[in-house]
Chain A
């Protein structure tokens, strides 16, 4: 799905560093989401956004910050990375109408050492 891109695909960072994961979509979808995927936990929602300048917490928001100044971009920042934040991060977007489902990006595999 070329319409939603995440960068970088892979990232290794050190404990305590700030790191930003980027997400860009070209469909002008209203909703955007950040999930983390860990073995045994499935996909857990970190933050979501219903529109530009509107964001809200999901299940596991601690240690993360998001912003959405433009509809197409939804960056996720780890303010001070910890090893427990080692995970695969997926960005997703959706239309207001749920029946079209979520479209996921290819993911960012983040390792915190």
Chain B
């Protein structure tokens, strides 16, 4: 069954608005990774979080790992049209990663 749930499934925002996607697991994760997939493309690795409560930033993107290591979020500040795509989290339990179902982001110019 699905180990990692991700919400929302779809998000439409006006260019310049912020965007957040959430990832939740029923079990404790050893680490979590985030990927971006452009329309028609393949997933591309963005970042990995390992420590409880960890926060990492990449320009306008902020990634957080929950204190209990069961949830994570990706926040994009002031979205741009180049942010369009599907964002996946992937949580590690044991020796496997379970990908979330993804959040498809549409940015309206």
The chain A residues found within 8 Å of chain B, CB to CB, are 35, 40-45, 48, 58-59, 90, 98-107
> From B30, which residue of chain A is reached at the shortest CB distance?
A98
List, in ascending order, chain B residues with CB within 8 A of A103's CB.
45
24 of the cross-chain contacts (CB-CB < 8 Å) are A35-B99, A42-B99, A42-B100, A42-B101, A42-B102, A43-B43, A43-B90, A43-B99, A45-B97, A45-B98, A48-B96, A58-B96, A59-B98, A98-B48, A98-B92, A99-B50, A100-B45, A102-B35, A102-B43, A102-B45, A102-B97, A103-B45, A104-B42, A106-B41
Known A-B contacts A42-B88, A98-B31; the reply to A105 vs B42 at CB < 8 A is yes
The verdict on B33 contacting chain A, using a C-beta distance below 8 Å, is yes
- Contact with B35, one of A59, A98, A101, A107 (Cβ below 8 angstroms): A101
Task: Tell me the B32-88 residues at the A interface (CB within 8 Å).
Answer: 33, 35, 41-46, 48, 50, 88
The chain B residues found within 8 Å of chain A, CB to CB, are 6, 31, 33, 35, 41-46, 48, 50, 88, 90, 92, 96-102
List, in ascending order, chain A residues with CB within 8 A of B46's CB.
101
| Closest CB in chain B relative to A47 CB, distance in Å | 12
Contact A104 B43 (CB under 8 A): yes
List, in ascending order, chain A residues with CB within 8 A of B92's CB.
98
List, in ascending order, chain B residues with CB within 8 A of A99's CB.
48, 50
A contact patch SS:
mixed
What separation, in Å, do the CA atoms of A105 and B90 have in the docked complex?
17
Known A-B contacts A42-B99, A43-B99, A58-B96; the reply to A101 vs B33 at CB < 8 A is yes
| Closest CB in chain A relative to B57 CB, distance in Å | 17
Known A-B contacts A98-B48, A99-B48; the reply to A90 vs B43 at CB < 8 A is yes
Ordered nearest first, which 5 A-B pairs have the shortest CB separation?
A101-B45, A42-B101, A43-B99, A104-B42, A42-B99
What separation, in Å, do the CA atoms of A30 and B48 have in the docked complex?
19
Given contacts A45-B97, A101-B35, A102-B35, 6 further A-B contacts (CB under 8 A): A40-B101, A98-B31, A98-B92, A101-B45, A101-B46, A102-B90
